[in-house]
A and B are shown apart, each in its own frame.
Chain A
Amino acid sequence: GAVVSQHPSRVICKSGTSVKIECRSLDFQATTMFWYRQFPKQSLMLMATSNEGSKATYEQGVEKDKFLINHASLTLSTLTVTSAHPEDSSFYICSARDDQGVNEQFFGPGTRLTVL
């Protein structure tokens, strides 16, 4: 099946620093990728829709200046958490929609962010 990778798998950073998370579709092209946030024992909360070559669309309540998204190619989207604070600690998951598929969306393994 289609594979989506995320890097890093876990990161610990100091408060005030920025962290970049990469999401790659390894064997398919994805014009559209999605970024989710998941708190412990909760469902996934969509943060933004990332479209290759255009600005991301953010969900209500998600600060676009804090969560910068860049989708520079058909296989790579990045999420940068700027000036991270402890409340940004969470599990971040990306998904990629296969351009050739029938509304199939494949998820990355997630990135555990801990802000000290």
Chain B
Amino acid sequence: GEDVEQSLFLSVREGDSSVINCTYTDSSSTYLYWYKQEPGAGLQLLTYIFSNMDMKQDQRLTVLLNKKDKHLSLRIADTQTGDSAIYFCAELTDSWGKLQFGAGTQVVVTP
């Protein structure tokens, strides 16, 4: 079945760029997503990319998609302390909207 993998932890200094990586296995996925979860809260949709795109930029966020390697990354420019959270990548697995999530990457921003 589908499996989405992420590194579990990332520490970054305030002001630096963060890069969170994700690999997926379902080559037919049409949409890939990045969600942010703060402690005790639900998931906030940060951005998504359609499978026919290589890159999408939205303010401080840049998503890169390498379909050949099934690799997705999220770059956060000028990382702030408010960016500390868990980041989940997810792939759309069917037409009803079912998502397959990665395990989440804990991002800790240090001053």
**Chain A interface (Cβ < 8 Å from any Cβ of B):** 1, 4, 6, 32, 34, 42-44, 46, 49, 51, 93, 95, 97, 103-110, 112
Contact = CB atoms under 8 A, between A and B. Distances in A.
Contacts of A107: 35, 42-45
Interface residues of B, number: 21
Contacts, number: 54
A42 B103 contact: yes
Interface string B28-51: 001101010000111111001000
16 contacts: A1-B45, A34-B98, A42-B103, A43-B102, A46-B98, A46-B99, A49-B98, A51-B96, A93-B43, A95-B99, A97-B96, A105-B33, A105-B99, A106-B45, A109-B42, A110-B41
B55 to A, nearest CB: 18
Contacts of B99: 34, 46, 95, 105
